[in-house]
């Protein structure tokens, strides 16, 4: 989400006579787009801000701004030089990027500048993001902003505000424009894309997420569609059927489980239990054969017992996740968990459980990849492999990285590849035709 927002920021400031540079030493303005999701994400940002102070000595007029969730959460306290032990000139929350040119003017005239007002409407729908750090093949399209699910551990509803969806026409235009520029894959982004909703009053048409997916899939059969993230409580059969019916919608669903214990899920305010989750997995397997399933898991949430943890491990085995993002629970200020629950799992226990989850997932990923050896996949080439100049790298519909020998392929080519071997992270193969 931040990657996509940074492209919006780049668009806003380049329209106001700034240009981007990839050398911090050359920059007159440095924005840090920040994340508050876990404490260590914030710690990284604070360290980076401290490191950047040395540039100030060499470039006295340089402006340093903090954008994103940490700006929203910490507000003017980030500007308190004595408390922070460093200087920041500007603080701008995720809904105030249109205001950046004015904020920059304020700073240039010698003031510190702040805008952390959250909006119930801002979607940046009319802004064409500058794809400044892209591989030219895959791009993100933000389709909604904010979240109102209030999972008890999560800071996002507090830093990104109310849920709002973007006009489908502007999404379809962006997808077509990207295709015409040579992009071959778009990922529709939102905190909970399944609750996408737009009413077109004049046409009397109500859009939901499956309708949007279908419309984007029709932009061009050569444009692959992905989406992130889905909340299990809103994962409808209607959506699964749309995926099954459209070959260019990728066979990969990211469905964060968070925990395999119904008691923990209840305290997390996730609004589904273990059985509901497994029911959604069953529907995916039934409606979309060959679909990869990935997830997010949190180790050591408030009150998590050894049995709850064992339930998470058993859920992982039962589903056989292809891939997972795995985290240690970190209490975030203002959340329901911070206010009402005790962060009572000792840090060493959280670490041990996380380690067990990671080890199990490595095994499951390896098993999943081994099952692909001998199969043929259509791979969208993204570029040269990082490890060898003679190999190219791309991904299959299931979102697995596939590496194979280069035969003058270009980024954006679709190549049929037969898988010959694998590690837990990568499939390796050769051209099949």
> How far apart, in whole angstroms, are the C-alpha atoms of residue 96 and residue 124?
10
192 binds ligand SF4 (CB under 6 A): yes
190 binds ligand SF4 (CB under 6 A): no
CA distances from 5 to 31, 72, 127, 160, 404 (A): 12, 14, 11, 12, 33
- With CA atoms as reference, report the closest residue to 251 among 226, 278, 223, 281: 226
385 binds ligand SF4 (CB under 6 A): no
Nearest distance, CB of residue 255 and ligand SF4, angstroms: 12
CA angle (289, 423, 284) in 5-degree steps: 15
| 151/186 with CB nearer ligand SF4 | 151
Among ligand SF4, ligand SAH, none, residue 298 binds (CB under 5-8 Å by kind) = ligand SAH
Q: Which positions lie near ligand SAH, rule CB under 6 A?
A: 37-38, 153-154, 156, 191-192, 229, 231, 256, 258, 296, 298, 327, 329-330, 332
Work out which of 49, 156, 345, 360 binds ligand SF4, going by CB under 6 A: 156
CA distances from 126 to 7, 12, 89, 170, 199 (A): 13, 11, 28, 7, 18
The contact pattern for ligand SF4, residues 212-251, with x = CB under 6 A and - = no contact, is: -------------------x--------------------
- With CA atoms as reference, report the closest residue to 307 among 256, 262, 364, 360: 262
| 147/171 with CB nearer ligand SF4 | 147
Among ligand SAH, ligand SF4, none, residue 353 binds (CB under 5-8 Å by kind) = none
Nearest distance, CB of residue 268 and ligand SAH, angstroms: 9
Nearest distance, CB of residue 73 and ligand SAH, angstroms: 12
Concatenating the DSSP letter of every residue in 191-257 gives: TTGGG-EEEETTTTEEEEHHHHHHHHHTS-TTSEEEEE---GGG--HHHHHHHHH-TTB-SEEE---
| 156/380 with CB nearer ligand SF4 | 156
Q: Where are the beta strands (DSSP E) in 109-160?
A: 113-115, 138-142, 144-145
Q: Which stretch of DSSP H or E encloses residue 188? A: strand 185-189
| 142/191 with CB nearer ligand SF4 | 191
Among ligand SAH, ligand SF4, none, residue 157 binds (CB under 5-8 Å by kind) = ligand SF4
Work out which of 68, 94, 129, 157 binds ligand SF4, going by CB under 6 A: 157
- 8-state DSSP, 258: B
Taking a C-beta distance cutoff of 8 angstroms, is the pair 138, 185 a contact?
Answer: yes
SS3 state at 138: strand
> How far apart, in whole angstroms, are the C-alpha atoms of residue 429 and residue 392?
11
Among ligand SAH, ligand SF4, none, residue 150 binds (CB under 5-8 Å by kind) = ligand SF4
Work out which of 92, 151, 189, 326 binds ligand SF4, going by CB under 6 A: 151
Nearest distance, CB of residue 301 and ligand SAH, angstroms: 8
Nearest distance, CB of residue 98 and ligand SF4, angstroms: 23
């Amino acid at each position: 989400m931040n990657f996509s927002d940074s492209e919006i920021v780049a668009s806003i400031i380049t329209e106001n006579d700034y240009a981007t540079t990839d050398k911090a030493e050359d920059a007159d303005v440095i924005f840090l787009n920040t994340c508050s999701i876990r404490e260590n994400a914030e710690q990284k940002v604070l360290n980076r801000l401290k490191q950047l102070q040395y540039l100030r000595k060499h470039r006295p007029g340089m402006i340093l701004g903090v954008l994103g969730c940490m700006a929203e959460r910490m507000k003017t306290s980030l500007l308190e030089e004595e408390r922070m032990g460093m200087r920041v000139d500007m603080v701008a929350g995720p809904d105030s990027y249109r205001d950046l040119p004015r904020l920059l003017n304020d700073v240039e005239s010698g003031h510190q500048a702040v805008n952390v007002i959250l909006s119930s409407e801002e979607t940046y729908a009319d802004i064409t993001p500058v794809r400044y750090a892209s591989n030219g093949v895959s791009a993100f399209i933000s389709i909604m902003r904010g979240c109102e699910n209030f999972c008890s551990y999560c800071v996002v509803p507090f830093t990104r505000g109310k849920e709002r969806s973007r006009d489908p026409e502007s999404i379809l235009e962006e997808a077509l424009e990207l295709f015409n520029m040579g992009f071959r894959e778009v990922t529709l982004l939102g905190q909970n894309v399944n609750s996408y909703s737009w009413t077109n009053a004049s046409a009397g048409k109500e859009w939901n997420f499956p309708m949007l997916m279908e419309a984007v899939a029709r932009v061009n059969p050569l444009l692959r569609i992905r989406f992130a993230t889905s909340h299990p409580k809103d994962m409808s059969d209607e959506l699964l059927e749309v995926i099954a019916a459209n070959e260019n919608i990728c066979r990969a669903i990211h469905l964060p489980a968070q925990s395999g214990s119904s008691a923990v899920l209840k305290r997390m305010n996730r609004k589904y239990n273990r059985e509901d989750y497994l029911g959604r997995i069953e529907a995916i397997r039934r409606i979309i054969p060959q679909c990869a399933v990935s997830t997010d898991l949190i180790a050591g949430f408030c009150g998590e017992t050894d049995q709850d943890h064992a339930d998470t491990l058993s859920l992982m085995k039962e589903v056989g996740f292809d891939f997972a993002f795995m985290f240690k629970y970190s209490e975030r200020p203002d959340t329901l968990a911070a206010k009402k629950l005790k962060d009572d799992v000792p840090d060493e226990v959280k670490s041990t459980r996380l380690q067990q989850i990671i080890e199990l997932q490595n095994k499951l990923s390896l098993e999943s990849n081994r099952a692909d050896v001998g199969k043929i996949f259509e791979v969208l080439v993204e570029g040269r492999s990082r490890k060898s100049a003679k190999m190219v790298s791309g991904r299959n519909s299931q979102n697995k990285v596939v590496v194979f020998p280069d035969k003058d392929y270009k980024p954006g080519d679709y190549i049929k590849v037969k898988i010959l071997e694998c590690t837990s992270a990568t499939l390796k193969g050769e051209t099949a035709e």
